[in-house]
Structure 1
Amino acid sequence: MWLGHQRGYGFYYSKCFRMPELRTPLRPDFLALVNQPTHAGLTQSILEHWQDGRGFTLATLNLDHIVKMRQNPVFLGSYMAQSHVVADGNPIVWLSRLAGRRIELIPGSELVMPLAALATEHDIPVALLGATEETLQLAADSLRKDYPKLQIVAQIAPPFGFDPTGANADTYLETLRRANAKLCFLALGAPKQEIFASRGISQVPECGFVSIGAGLDFIAGQQTRAPQWVRKLALEWVWRMLGNPRRLALRYTRCISIMPGLIWQAIKDRAHS
């Protein structure tokens, strides 16, 4: 199935996303949101959900998400409702270890191929939602080339300004239900993808929603990841910022600004563990 139009990449500025920063004295322990510390454990949990006919929602925590959750109660609520959360960035891994929790780095962009392989092995129908029609087709072609037996049953490219809480979202979820999708890769960017996932699991409870950001763009060849040696040095963020300083400089500045508070929280967690 195919549904949709070309989608832009601008941040969603509807009324519900303009809510002011929470001023409550208590904030959640963001690091404790990670509930899938290892690749092996994540894989086993997903298999168990499929075997039981249950869906799931998978988010990939990084510093940018924490910045946005502090400012956006809707995003925060959606994140806390995710059934599976992994550590997408090295700072989350380091801070968690400082807090006394040993976790592995599991970037969202690196989940697509392993999960596609797992879906192929277990005859799980897959849907792609997000990005643009061109990107989805290129990504689908690439996935089918690597996994000829992979069932891609829906490709949905929402239009610019897509509201994950609006009527179009219901239409797309009905498309996923009719297509019998059991795994849906969401390439909408944060916070849209996590909000859509938390809504989707209630309407298509047998589907697993995996938020992967630019994961399909990488597979389609529309974006290029940093070289492996850069990633091993935990400098992928520098690589990305140099490639698009106007868009990313402020984002990373905000991420750095929350580090002292997160370090202090991690130290307190360790002391109480």
Structure 2
Amino acid sequence: MRFWGEGFDVPVNVPDWAALKRHVSERLQVGEGFSLATINLDHLVKLRCDGRFRDAYAAQDLVVADGNPIVWLSRLAGRPVDLIPGSDAILPLAQLVAAHGKTLGLVGSTQQTLTAARQYLEREVPGTRVVATLAPPMGFEPAGAAADDVLDALGHSGADVVLLALGAPKQELFAAYGRQRLPTVGFVSIGAGLDFLSGAQKRAPGWVRAIAMEWAWRALSQPARMIPRYAKCVTILPLEVTHAIRLRRAGNASGLVPDR
């Protein structure tokens, strides 16, 4: 499935959990790095007005569908993909990393949150080794001197896979930059995932997520931040729906996901 806008084209090239685990396992086995992004409507809004973000997304090796609207649009287009939220991917990826005898690094949020997240992962996933917990300073520039300092620390730590909780677009920009500096490291953008693990933020209950209403939970929990974001997302839906219908009618082979 492909999502589009003026001057950019974003393919979801990892359609399901099996494909995600296969791709990551293959790279871990040969010591090859990667960058993983989780596309959602908020990202599509940002991609329309941020050239650096578009360049960063173009540099991502793996892209999964994070958000039910992305999944619904893919089905409408006849190119179905599964829902793989960044937060839900943390534990399965940590299990893969541990199974391959590799190490984790955590970047983002606060040191307190990272410490709690490290303790959670090491408790819940046997064999997990978190070798770096780095909380960049306020105003962190994801491709500047501060980013170099973080990457140097990650390189010295020996982290094989790094979970990035910097928020979009910073985490994707940092992943694209880090991918060049540390080509054997995997960078995974997970948004608020570490905050959920640590308890710094409370995630919607499972039954709320099951009925695809997590967005409403978040809007009620953080109205000042989330309601304007969701309002912008609504404005792009007609265009994306139109594009999905055109893909379905055209049967455009270039829009097919090769791993499905």
Structure 2: distance between partners of 1:234 and 1:148: 31
Q: Does 1:259 align with 2:237?
A: yes
**Percent of paired sites with the same residue:** 50
Q: Which residue of 2 aligns with 1:74?
A: 52
Mark the runs of 5 or more structure 2 residues left unpaired by the alignment. 252-260
Tell me which stretches of 4 or more aligned residues in structure 1 moved more than 3 Å.
none
Q: CA deviation at 1:148?
A: 4.2
Counterparts of residues 25-40 of structure 1 (less than 5 Å): 26-30=6-10, 33-40=11-18
C-alpha distance after superposition, 1:210-233 (max 9, x if no partner): 000000000001111111111111
Structure 2: distance between partners of 1:219 and 1:82: 25
Q: Does 1:132 align with 2:102?
A: no
C-alpha distance after superposition, 1:94-116 (max 9, x if no partner): 00111111110000011111111
Structure 1: distance between partners of 2:126 and 2:247: 47
Q: Which residue of 2 aligns with 1:153?
A: 131
Q: Which residue of 2 aligns with 1:20?
A: none
Structure 1: distance between partners of 2:146 and 2:105: 16
Q: Which residue of 1 aligns with 2:199?
A: 221
* Counterpart pick for 1:95 among 68, 73, 76: 73
Q: Which residue of 1 aligns with 2:21?
A: 43
1:174 is paired with a residue of what secondary structure?
A: helix
Structure 2: distance between partners of 1:171 and 1:193: 15
Structure 1: distance between partners of 2:37 and 2:147: 19
Structure 2: distance between partners of 1:243 and 1:162: 26
1:35 is paired with a residue of what secondary structure?
A: coil
C-alpha distance after superposition, 1:132-151 (max 9, x if no partner): 00000000111111124211
Structure 2: distance between partners of 1:71 and 1:255: 13
What letter is aligned with 2:188?
A: V
Mark the runs of 5 or more structure 1 residues left unpaired by the alignment. 1-24
Number of residue pairs matched? 247
Q: Which moved more, 1:172-181 or 1:86-95?
A: 172-181
Q: CA deviation at 1:128?
A: 0.3
Structure 1: distance between partners of 2:231 and 2:174: 27
TM-score by length of 2: 0.93
Q: Cα RMSD over matched residues?
A: 1.1
Structure 2: distance between partners of 1:228 and 1:151: 28
2:131 is paired with a residue of what secondary structure?
A: strand
C-alpha distance after superposition, 1:82-127 (max 9, x if no partner): 0000000000000011111111000001111111111111111110
Q: Which residue of 1 aligns with 2:255?
A: none
2:80 is paired with a residue of what secondary structure?
A: coil
